[in-house]
Amino acid sequence: MMQRGSAHFSYGIADNLDDPKYEHYKYWSNPLETKLPNAPDMEMYSMYGVGIPTERAYVYKLAPSAECNIPFQIDTSAEGGQDGSCLQGGVYLVNGDETVPVLSAGYMCAKGWRGKTRFNPSGIKTYVREYDHAPPANLLEGRGTQSGAHVDIMGNFALIEDIVRVAAGATGEDLGGDQVYSDIFKWSEKIKLRL
């Protein structure tokens, strides 16, 4: 299974995006190993939910060999030690949509593709549109019309409106530019990646 995954996907960072090897489809799903097209009039949007604790990393311990064949398990006794710590029960939690952390969802539009970079050679305009999670007020609201959760966001009225407006010809500026509730721009600046 690992060989099959390696044949179809890549998880690295390209040193030279002009290397012909990056024309292979296995690199296309990794924004750090492919360039945006030469389309200076195009716009890119990163639209995602925020405001929900989301798993980012784990603390592991060796599993007793008698319990299973997997040598590690999450150390549920690992705690952050203070109120508000992001380490709870062996799991590091960060801001996100309950599935994808904000940094994973927004980094490329916030910094990696922002302006002319080696990943965005024609300077396609990028916009970050975050949707702050508000749980449904009652059962009649279903999954929520203001949800920022990973799947439920598809019923978020603000997201739907933004998508319909863009499909009808609105620009990112028409939408009001970036709409940010997290610290995505501050966090993105801390990442030292050759752009």
Report pLDDT digits (tens) over 103-136.
999 999 999 999 999 999 999 999 999 999 998 8
Give me the mean pLDDT over the 163-179 stretch: 98
Calpha distance 170→175 (Å, rounded): 7
How far is CA 64 from its chain centroid?
Answer: 35
With b meaning 16 or more CB within 10 Å and e meaning fewer, what string describes 120-136?
beeebbbbbbbbbbeee
> What is the rounded average pLDDT of the residues 58-86?
82
Strands (E), 32-188: 43-50, 52-58, 60-62, 72-74, 87-88, 91-96, 125-132
CB atoms within 10 A of CB 94: 16
- Which residues on neighbouring strands pair with residue 53, listed in sequence order? 95
- Average pLDDT of the chain to the nearest whole number: 92
The model's pTM is 0.88
